[in-house]
Structure formats: C-alpha cells, structure tokens
Amino acid sequence: MKRMKILMALVVIICLGVFTYGCGAPREPSGDNKVVAKINNYSMTTEDFRDAARAVRGTKAQVLDELITKNVLVQEAQKENFDKDEAFMKEIQGYWEQALLKLLIKKKTAEFSAAFKADKEKTEEALKRWVNDLRSRAKIKIYDKNLEEIKIP
C-alpha cells in the first residue's frame, strides 16, 4: 500500500513536471508565457511549444499538430484510467529509476573526470570503486530459495 502511494505521488509529479504539456494538467500561464492552444481544459503555453520545438524538428504547424495529437491521446488515456493501471505504475517506476541513475552517474563521472583531468581510464576506475564501496556499505540479503524458484525463459 505504501509503495502504491509513492508511485501515485511519482505519477502526479511527473505529470506536473516532465510531461507538463502532455498530461493535460490545467495551469495558469504567467508573464509572457501566453496560451498557444487550448485542448479541453489544458492550456498549451508558448513555453510548452518552445520545449517541444527543441525536441521535434519541423514547422510550427507540424510541432503544434504533434502536440495537439499527443495531448488528445494522453487525455483519452487518462479518461480510460490507464494512469492508474498497475502496469503503468511499474513503467513509471522504471523511468524514474533510470532518470535517477542517469543523473547520479553523470554527476559522479563529471566529478571523477575533473579530479583525474579527463583521463578516461582513471575516471572509469574511480567510478567502479565508488560503486563497489556503495555496495559494500549497503545491507544486502539475498534469498536464495526465492531466487531459485524464479523461472527465466
């Protein structure tokens, strides 16, 4: 139950943050961030449009068309409660974990790279030592019996 609450909180955070223009969360535009389009209760702002235009190549009309299509599909998925589905929650957890790992490894690699004046081998070795140190300090218990019961195709 606690895990489900955490995952639901992650979904809300992701919808409000990463997928601002995709999840349909209504919000009021501020300052010069004007509304470019309204899709049901969702206001697509100039900021949303600029963010998407950086990621998608094409004309303004093509970018706008793609954003509208994406938003309509996300709203339909929400109507069908896909955002509350257990498989969706697992998918979000996977993306969340990947994003955390990517940021952590990127930060540590930059730190080690600077410390070793961009020497790739020394940086990789330092990163491996750091990971091994984290593992050695962690409390890890492996349940061999349960592990053996898992069938891998």
Residue matched to tokens 């974990």: 97
Q: Are residues 110 and 77 in the same domain?
A: no
Number of domains in the chain: 2
Mean pLDDT (the chain) is 81
Element (H, E) at 56: none
Q: How far apart are CA 56 and CA 40, in angstroms?
A: 23
Mean pLDDT, rounded, for 42-53 = 87
In a domain, 95, yes or no: no
121 and 52 belong to one structural domain: no
Judge whether residue 96 has pLDDT over 90.
yes
6 and 75 belong to one structural domain: yes
Q: pTM (2 decimals)?
A: 0.53
pLDDT at position 117 over 50: yes
Give Cα separations from 110 to 118, 128, 132 (angstroms): 9, 14, 18
Domain encompassing residue 122: 100-149
